Amino acid sequence: MRDFGTFIFVTGGAYQGKLDYALSLCVPHPVAVIEGDAIPETWFLSSCEPSCLSELVAISLASTKEKMGEEEADDVVPCAIIVNHVERMARTIRTLSMAPEEAFENLLSKFNRLTRISQLILIADEVGSGVVPLGKESRLDREYAGRIAVNCASKASKVVRVLAGIPLIIK
């Protein structure tokens, strides 16, 4: 499996500035921002090959839309991908009856096959603290989200926790 130039995992509580921090790592290059719950089920399966980044429906180009018009930004190939709210992938993975570790490996290999992507940044809200959900499915989603976060941290070259907008480098 080819390595990205950089694979960074950013975590922390909700609304702590994780996305702003991730975007600051990529300035001034174009960045594709993808919401975790917008990744199609096929990207978690080993049998399906991604044809291109445009298969992902909910993509926004972050730093290019500010400097260029939206029409021009559509033709720009991003050099970095940010997946925001990785914890939201848990429900999709659980409905596929897959182990989070296997689904995460498949997803990483799909991103690795995309050319010209020098940086992959995965962002996850911490979900392990606080009140335990009452429903069985909600508890399973939380467990899966935690297992995905563990995989992200173990595979990333850099792990950063953002607290009140301040990045704390863990790894």
The per-residue pLDDT for range 42-61, each reduced to its tens digit, is: 888 877 665 556 555 455 55
Q: How does pLDDT run across 133-144, given as a tens digit for each residue?
A: 788 888 888 999
Question: For residue 123, which of 87, 73, 166 has the smallest C-alpha distance?
Answer: 87
Query: What tokens appear for 104 in the block?
Result: 């995460």
CATH architecture of 6-169: 3-Layer(aba) Sandwich (3.40)
Question: For residue 9, which of 141, 118, 169 has the smallest C-alpha distance?
Answer: 169
Whole-number pLDDT of residue 4: 53
Q: pTM above the 0.85 mark?
A: no
Alpha helices in the chain (DSSP H): 18-24, 62-67, 70-73, 89-95, 100-113, 136-155
Binning pLDDT at 50, 70 and 90, where does residue 113 land?
A: confident
Residue ranges per structural domain of the chain: 6-169
Whole-number pLDDT of residue 88: 92
Contact indicator for 59, 53 with CB cutoff of 8 Å: yes
Whole-number pLDDT of residue 163: 95
Q: How does pLDDT run across 19-44, given as a tens digit for each residue?
A: 999 998 887 777 888 888 888 888 88
